[in-house]
Amino acid sequence: MKQRVSALLREKLGREVVLEKPRDRSFGHFATPIAFSLAKELRKSPMVIAEELAASFGDVEEFASVESVKGYLNFRLSENFLAEYASWALQNPAEFATQKKNQKILLEFVSANPTGPLHIGHARGAVYGDTLYRLAKHLGYDITAEYYVNDAGNQIDLLGLSIQLYAREHILGEDVEYPEAYYRGEYLEDLAQGAIEKFGKEIFSDESRQKELAMWAKDEVMKIIVKDLGDTNIFFDTFVNESGLYADWDRVMQKMGDGVYEKDGKVWIASEAKGDDHDRVVVREDGRPTYLAGDIVYHNQKFERGYDHYINIWGADHHGYIPRVKAAIEYLGYDSSKLEVLLSQMVSLLKDGEPYKMSKRAGNVILMSDIVEEIGADALRFIFASKKSDTALEFDLAEFKKQDSSNPIFYIQYAHARIQTLLSKAEVSKDEIANASLKNLGEQADTLLFDALLLPEVVDDAFHSRQVQKLPDYLKSLAASLHKFYYDVRMIGTPDEAKLLKMLQVVALSLKTGLALMGIEAKNRMTKEEE
């Protein structure tokens, strides 16, 4: 709707127009302050300009009224416009809230080291990234979801060592001395048992085979990660392994030119010249590449694939890492403004008001799979999408286990199911509902219909602002309006039954589409215990 109104105003006024939604719905559906921006150019007061502009819209059939209020132009959409748009949406549900964009985007997210199962910090970035991906897809972008597998470096060596030490202590019964840093958790037992089946117990005592064990184990951990993501309805189009990139190292270093230099036996990137705090080490004295080295090769590979825009979702602790990666991109000869880095804050969990206990299976973190098992994937996705990703998030699991209106995902699901129940009880036929006119619905029904038709604007705004929480906020508000309407207005068996049920079908479409964009399937009915 907003796009259509914007296009009409652009055509009539010959310029782009800022559209706002009045807080007081009695002022209309949309408003614009354009008269204020024209005041200097036309040398008239905004109120005079607004009155003149309002008078010029008498022949535009999409508007029931255009009024001047204190210099603002307020637009009320016509019943015909809303009715036609609603009918089109019901006839073309797959196209509702979609657009056609001519842009290729590479979205990289999660990319957790394959050294253990995903924890809730990873889960937040995963849900945020997947929701952005779904929004972009719906809006017509050619977007690729990618997982960068950090399967090279110290953390993988440490995985092999941790399995060997665990097995020697718990399977071979030896006394072992653990280093200061190592991986722990019951998942190591599963890896150790799998290693016995694959290699035999002798691999645990042979230090020369530690790398072989580690490379096998990281693939097994990736299977766990992919399963945990799939259980939460998150899937990737492509996976890129860091270990496969270093064959291109020499060529990439040549591309970097003067961006890298040698000093004190190390290789450095001159990132300070590009806005970083200081230059960074890329290769250590012993020839081992740093974490940054892999990212340089990876981002070169990304940009060589020729996308229009690149989005990375990183943990908030990576904030200081952004300037050095952007510096590398510049030295590689690319436009670093094409890389957008979004940050995801950590999560703190409560259960009945008390801190949630760490997982024995992971050793020292709360596992994503534990939370999915406790409250379900839908609730987890809703929670993590419902607050701005770069702000701290604390929530109590108990609230999302409740089967009542205090649980927002239940509240929204119940709104959709409630509409399906009404439709199943209809005393009019499906054809009567489909052919019903949506005129003269009444003020409350008109408002609900308008709110339901706002989904396209919400989807567009949520993606372009990168604030996916705007979608669950909208769905909660729409569900609240639906529940109120249900209690306020009798529908079944009334003269207006067909048109009111048709209007509710539009509400259901918006709820279902919005939930799908959050990776959640709308429910058509609730269990008896939930009702």
Q: Tell me, what CATH number does 461's domain have?
A: 1.10.730.10
The span from the CA of 120 to the CA of 347, in Å, is 7
State the pLDDT at residue 448: 96
* Side chain identity, residue 521: E
In a domain, 449, yes or no: yes
In a domain, 372, yes or no: no
Q: What is the pLDDT along the chain (531 residues), one digit of tens a residue?
A: 788 888 888 888 888 888 888 888 788 899 999 999 888 888 889 899 989 898 988 778 889 889 998 898 899 999 999 999 999 999 999 999 999 999 999 999 999 999 999 999 999 999 999 999 999 999 999 999 999 999 998 899 999 999 999 999 999 999 999 998 899 888 999 999 999 999 999 999 999 999 999 999 999 999 999 999 999 999 999 999 999 999 999 999 999 999 999 999 999 999 999 999 999 999 999 999 999 999 999 999 999 999 999 999 999 888 889 999 999 999 999 999 999 999 999 888 888 888 887 665 556 688 999 999 999 999 999 999 999 999 999 988 888 888 888 899 999 999 999 999 999 999 999 999 999 999 999 889 999 999 999 999 999 999 999 999 999 999 999 999 999 999 999 999 999 999 999 999 999 999 999 999 999 999 999 864 344
Which of 62, 82, 54 shows the shortest CA–CA distance to 8?
62
Among the candidates 77, 112, 129, a domain finishes at: 77
Token pair 């200061």 in the structure block, residue: 180
Residues 6+ apart with CB under 8 A from 255: 300, 331, 332, 333
State the pLDDT at residue 51: 92
> What is the count of structural domains for the chain?
3
| Token duo for residue 451 | 């709110």
Among the candidates 199, 221, 243, a domain finishes at: 221
| Residues spanned by the domain of 199 | 154-221
Q: Specify whether 158 is located in the same domain as 48.
A: no
Q: Specify whether 418 is located in the same domain as 518.
A: yes
Element (H, E) at 439: none
Among the candidates 25, 51, 77, a domain finishes at: 77
Q: Is 522 within 8 Å of 413 (Cβ atoms)?
A: yes
In a domain, 423, yes or no: yes
CATH code assigned at 39: 3.30.1360.70
Q: Specify whether 180 is located in the same domain as 73.
A: no
The span from the CA of 89 to the CA of 61, in Å, is 20
In a domain, 120, yes or no: no
* Side chain identity, residue 163: I
Alpha-carbon Rg for the chain in angstroms: 28
Element (H, E) at 345: none
State the pLDDT at residue 13: 82
Q: What is the DSSP letter of 289?
A: B
In a domain, 333, yes or no: no
Q: What is the DSSP string of 69-108?
A: ETTEEEEEE-HHHHHHHHHHHHH-GGGTT------EEEEE
In a domain, 62, yes or no: yes
The span from the CA of 334 to the CA of 274, in Å, is 13
Which of 334, 346, 338, 433 shows the shortest CA–CA distance to 387?
346
Q: Is 111 within 8 Å of 149 (Cβ atoms)?
A: yes
Q: Is 49 within 8 Å of 35 (Cβ atoms)?
A: yes
In a domain, 429, yes or no: yes
State the pLDDT at residue 531: 42
| Token duo for residue 240 | 């890129």
Buried b (16+ CB within 10 A) or exposed e, 501-519: bbbbbbbbbbbbbbbebbb
